[in-house]
Amino acid sequence: MNIRETLDKLFALHTFGVKLGLDNIVSFLNDIGNPQAELKTIHIAGSNGKGSTASFIASSLMEAGYNVGLYTSPHFVRFNERIKINGTEINDEAIAEFYANNEKIIVDKSLTFFEVTTAMAFQYFKNQKVDYAVIETGLGGRLDATNVLNPLAIVITSISQEHTNILGNSLKEIAFEKAGIIKNKSKVFIGRLPEEAVAVIERKCIETNSELFAIDEYTNFSGGAIELYTEEIELDDWTMPLKGDYQKYNAALAGLVIAKIFNIDNQRIILQGIRNVVKNTNLQGRYEYYSTKPLVIFDSAHNPEGVENFLSEFKKESSAIKGKKILIFAAMKDKAVEKMLLLLNQQFNEIRVTTVNYERAMPIKDLLFIANNQNINVNLETQPVKFIHDFIRSDKNGCLVVLGSMYLLGEIKSNLIQ
């Protein structure tokens, strides 16, 4: 089976949608020998920041000389981006071989795309004998296909309203789902969370006899500077390729995990991991400059908290922009689109809404309806790639931001490089 045929069959599994529950994945992993049981893992959940934090952890472990697997989702351009070892993507042959060897089981069990991809990552990391694997959850935590691990550490980066149709309408309900990855006698690390979310996680830690490390107890923040202090390390130099104070907190959370779990007290290793995170892991879509003249920025903010984080950084440079500030926006159906548009409308002269070829994507007509209900003036954009090309050729003083979904960025990037 060639890679094109394999990927067609893999992507066709999206028709099974999202199946919350562990029965299918547990059964499938049993069939293939439970590769996850032989992995030393870091398990990461969160509404925002989990991809960045996972990459900071993986990058630091690489700088320490370890062979490190990294499993994230979704991908931007190539499926292979989801599964990496030391920054190198899984090869086409391994993808095709895994699917071919297990196609009958996949079909008979009606496995979902994410279940198959997760099992593939576990098998690949086992076969390649990684020292550690950093695993990002897909949706939620408690019923997520990745929640079959007995990890060295559990990380919950943030809690905000998202996937409310599945995870619940309140922060407490969402925190309960995220906290579902906490196992007995775990070491649990949390970022800056709302008080009601912290209370849920603290209760879960007590129930499971787990040890809790909260980033607020190890950091000082003053005037845009963040200091991380533990018994092992002291860090206040956050020279790194990702913009935003929120990324400094993600880096600090990763540093805390590295210090407490791996007993790495060499600050240089952690700093190098932070500075080299893009080079080591090929991290994309986090306040990413596609062009500087004119300014074109890609950002994968996909919920109100993510939008607020993006805008906190964007405001620092928007005052110097002499031309129009234009936004291309798309979102998934289960996101708080109204709140995001209200926030974004304050900062952009023009908003152009579009959609992506994905079953969870919000149709343009629904985006237009939400915008009109809030008296937000938006334009329809059916050819975002052409618009980007035209903007770069014609407007040297303006700024264009593409934001709202990793799927939007992925679809646009795929077409931009053709």
Instruction: Place 161 in a pLDDT band, splitting at 50, 70 and 90.
Output: low
User: In this model, does residue 418 exceed pLDDT 70?
Assistant: no
At which of 246, 281, 316 does a domain end? 281
| pLDDT at 16 (0 to 100) | 63
% of the chain with per-residue pLDDT over 90: 80
- Does residue 168 carry a pLDDT above 60? no
- Of the two residues 164 and 309, the one the predictor is more confident about is 309
CATH of the domain at 352: 3.90.190.20
Q: Residue 94 corresponds to which tokens in the numbers above?
A: 């391994």
Rounded CA gap, 384 and 391, in Å? 10
Q: How many distinct structural domains can be found in the chain?
A: 2
* pLDDT tens, position by position, 176-227: 999 999 999 999 999 999 999 999 999 999 999 999 999 999 999 877 778 9
Higher pLDDT, 38 or 74: 38
> What is the mean predicted confidence (pLDDT) over 267-283?
94
Domain C-terminal end among 264, 281, 298: 281
Q: Cα separation of 215 and 249, whole Å?
A: 8
Domain boundary among 259, 281, 303: 281
Regarding whether 377 and 238 lie in a shared domain, the answer is: no
Assess whether 196 and 64 both reside in one domain: yes
**Same-domain check for residues 50 and 159:** yes
Query: Do 275 and 321 fall into the same domain?
Result: no
In this structure, are strands 219-222 and 225-229 parallel, antiparallel, or unpaired? antiparallel
Q: How do residues 295-321 score in pLDDT, each as one tens digit?
A: 999 999 999 999 999 999 999 998 889
Give the per-residue pLDDT at 395: 76
Q: Are residues 344 and 267 in the same domain?
A: no
Q: What token pair was written down for 304?
A: 């109100």
Same domain for 230 and 357, yes or no, is no
- Report yes or no: 198 and 191 within 8 Å, Cβ to Cβ: no
Check whether residue 250 and residue 333 sit in a common domain. no
Same domain as 123, residue 14: yes
Residues ≥6 apart with Cβ < 8 Å to 155: 42, 43, 44, 45, 46, 50, 53, 57, 188, 189, 190, 191, 253, 257
Q: How far is CA 166 from CA 16, 21, 63, 356, in A?
A: 16, 12, 38, 21
Is the bond into 74 cis (omega within 30 degrees of 0)? yes
Length in residues, the chain: 418
Pseudo-torsion of CA 175, 180, 185, 191, nearest 10°? Answer: -30
Task: Please give the residue range of the domain that contains residue 295.
Answer: 288-416
Once rounded to an integer, what is the mean pLDDT over residues 368-373? 95
What's residue 37's pLDDT?
98
Torsions phi, psi of 310, nearest 5? -60, -45
Please indicate, yes or no, whether residues 245 and 348 belong to a single structural domain of this protein: no
Residue 167: which pLDDT band, with cuts at 50, 70 and 90? low
Q: Do 316 and 269 belong together in one domain? A: no
Q: Tell me: the pLDDT tens digits for 236-267?
A: 877 888 988 889 999 999 999 999 999 888 89
Listed in sequence order, the residues at least 6 apart from 101 whose beta carbon sits closer than 8 Å to its beta carbon are none
Quick check: pTM over 0.75? yes
Neighbouring-strand partners of residue 378: 351
> What CATH number does residue 80 fall under?
3.40.1190.10
Q: Are residues 261 and 293 in the same domain?
A: no
**pLDDT (0 to 100) of residue 90:** 98
Question: What does the pLDDT look like over 80-133, one tens digit per residue?
Answer: 999 999 999 999 999 999 999 999 999 999 999 999 999 999 999 999 999 999
pLDDT digits (tens, 9 = 90+) for 41-79: 999 999 999 999 999 999 999 999 999 999 999 999 999
Same domain, 262 and 226: yes
CA atoms of 286 and 79, how far apart (whole Å): 19
For 388, how many CA atoms within 13 A lie in the half-sphere containing its CB?
23
User: φ and ψ at 254, to 5 degrees?
Assistant: -65, -40
Tell me the mean pLDDT in the region 322-330: 95
Which range, of 219-233, 285-299, 334-348, 381-395, averages the lowest pLDDT?
Answer: 219-233
Given the structure tokens 């795929």, which residue do they identify?
Answer: 414
Tokens standing for 275?
Answer: 């500075």
pLDDT at position 236, please?
Answer: 82
CA-only gyration radius of the chain, Å: 21
